[in-house]
Amino acid sequence: MENVYDVIIIGAGPAGLSAGLYAGRNRNSTLIIEKSQDGGQIAITNEIENYPGQELEGESGPSLIARMTKQAEKFGCERVSSTVESVDLKSSPKKVTTADGEFLGKTVILATGAAHRQIGCENEQEFVGRGISFCATCDADFFRDLEVYVVGGGDAAVEEAMYLTGFARKVTVIHRRDELRAAKSIQEKAFKNPKLHFMWDSVVTKVDGDGILSKMTVKNTKTGELTEIEADEDDGIFGLFGFIGMIPTTNLFADQVELDERGYVITDPDMHTNLDGVFAAGDLRQKSLRQVVTAAADGAIAAMQAYKYIQDCE
């Protein structure tokens, strides 16, 4: 008879690894499938300061994830490094087909995460984590008393820009249009903030620097004029935050699991999706805060609910 896992987890970011840890401790046979490196978004984060219990000095995304991976392995999680090509979440058992084979599970935990929309400028990837960030809550303190630029014009961009004014000495919002898309109530607060400035009809076309971000080129969308911006000589760096939306990684199961209008998986507080035995955890889920700590919590809840589902079915 073909092997059927108690729990199959798709994705090995903080949510998936946390789910694996809890599922393994529950003595559930558990398989974690990840197509690339463990960690998801956190794997490219150089410094972490706000995860409870972390190393106070020298904690990075990779170092935190390495410990999470070892914990999951300690409790017996099996691993497959492969790309998931299709899923059948309505069958019993549920079926996950990868480039390297097919796997069956009594339950499935979806933990494929979400990706930040890129700013779309030349050399962008070279400076992610070295001046470019997509999370003010994570990285604002690294830019204390420095100059910071925010790309975007919606609610998230303006709210995060206001948050950053609590750390940076000056925050400039770069927006491709001549007016914000954010709610009027948010705009009113933003325009009253003396540390918040605006660069209208503009897009960032190129970033540069010697290992860290210290230069960028901004283009006026109406005139085509290029403006070169350099970090203050005493600072040597400035921050560039992108807030132009997130893209949940949910296309693989969009025709089976209920999604909201933005493509995020809809769950109840216990991570149940609309399908029995299918749970979702982490950044792909409809939620208000996307942080390592909330992803880990989601994963733990999902694993415990999977355990309960299995027990109830036996």
Q: Which residues are catalytic?
A: 135, 138-139
Residue 140 tokens read as 């604002």
Residues contacting 182, CB < 8 A, separation 6+: 153, 154, 155, 157, 158, 159, 190
Handedness of CA 230, 233, 236, 242 (dihedral sign): negative
* 3-class DSSP assignment, residue 39: coil
**Whole-number Å distance between alpha carbons of 270 and 312:** 16
**Whole-number Å distance between alpha carbons of 77 and 28:** 9
Residue identified by tokens 């420095």 is: 146
Helices (H), 155-245: 155-164, 184-192
Residue 1 tokens read as 């008879």
β-bridge mates for residue 80, sequence order? 33
β-bridge mates for residue 21, sequence order? none
φ and ψ of 25, to 5 deg: -65, -25
φ and ψ of 157, to 5 deg: -60, -45
CB–CB of 265/96 below 8 Å?
A: no
**Whole-number Å distance between alpha carbons of 32 and 309:** 19
Angle between helix axes 14-25 and 292-313 (nearest 10 degrees) is 40
CB–CB of 2/16 below 8 Å?
A: no
**Whole-number Å distance between alpha carbons of 46 and 130:** 8
Q: Which amino acid is at 153?
A: G
